[in-house]
Amino acid sequence: MAESADYGLKCIVKLGGAAITHKHEFEERNNENLSLVASQLREAIMGSSWHGHGMDWSKRIENNHKDFAHEFGDQKIDSSAFVVVHGAGSFGHFQASRSGVHKGGLHLPLVRAGFVATRISVTSLNLEIVRALASEGIPSVGMSPFACGWSTAGRNFTDANISQVANAIDSGLIPVLHGDVVLDNSQGCTILSGDVIIRYLAQQLRPHYVVFLTDVLGVYDRPPSDPNAILLREIAVDEDGSWSIVKPMLPHMNKQVKITVGAHDTTGGMMTKITEAATIAKLGIDVYIVKAGTDHSLKALKGEVSNISNEWLGTMVRSSSKCIHSDV
């Protein structure tokens, strides 16, 4: 796919694993957050006045003889505006870390078993997220990187044809991808994180903006559990990929932002998000990192955050050229 192709894509959304699951509880969804996220996505895609019907008929078996046509009529949905990618959270990470599947060695029985177990876990979460979105009337379809034939070499993409994603968009569907285990040409197998997928899709599909939905307000200068943690409101990315904090002006600007990663997290945590967000911002695409299920995330999903104000809480990552001409 040529990078210059215009898919008319409005937004790529990353549902962070920590926001949609209870990350330290084995395979446990955060149903409350997932419901809020699905509702906000429906409003961002179809507007607050839309009151259509859900698309998940699988739990309405008692009515499967019924003609549902009247429920949908000729409703039109601008579903081509969004692509969704979700993390695994408490699904898959435990299996991957205990088997070492992210380190490769698919010829080893434990790693091979871990590969299978990880895929079972992450695809089961993908199904539930697709179901939650479909229940809100969003025409979502699950897409697994492994099943799409995506592969890597040394954790870098070697084969990632996005034709299936593009065809789904053209067909009026919303692709829902996820972090996955994939084959790797140099080490046998590895973990392909949702954040890396977001970066690749942004390069290929060129959305207007990208939204990372997390379990905290945004990126902090240290772990947010620290009472002295400061929310970084705006990060500027230069042409060479280096980034700096624009707002707020910290007393020690050269101080390294401190990031912690969960012991079972095989995908790099918040530092990976910043790195991938910076790569996306280099393309001229604004990135918003914001807490899921809040008024701030709804504004971000709608694309209503042009400049940083005191009313909006989150982290904007964007090209330094845009920051220079901003009024903040």
Question: Which residues contribute to the annotated binding site for ATP?
Answer: 89, 215, 269, 273
In the annotated binding site for substrate, the residues are 88, 93, 194
In the annotated binding site, the residues are 88-89, 93, 194, 215, 269, 273
Identity of the amino acid at 85: V
Strands 188-192 and 180-184: antiparallel
Nearest alpha carbon to residue 20 among 116, 88, 74, 105 = 88
How far is it, in rounded angstroms, from Cα 169 to Cα 186? 32
Place of tokens 């020690």: 252
Please list, in sequence order, all residues whose beta carbon lies within 8 angstroms of the beta carbon of residue 21, skipping any fewer than 6 positions away. Answer: 27, 28, 29, 30, 88, 89, 90, 91, 125
User: Cα Rg for the chain, rounded, in angstroms?
Assistant: 20
Please list, in sequence order, all residues whose beta carbon lies within 8 angstroms of the beta carbon of residue 203, skipping any fewer than 6 positions away. Answer: 3, 280, 283
How far is it, in rounded angstroms, from Cα 41 to Cα 39? 5
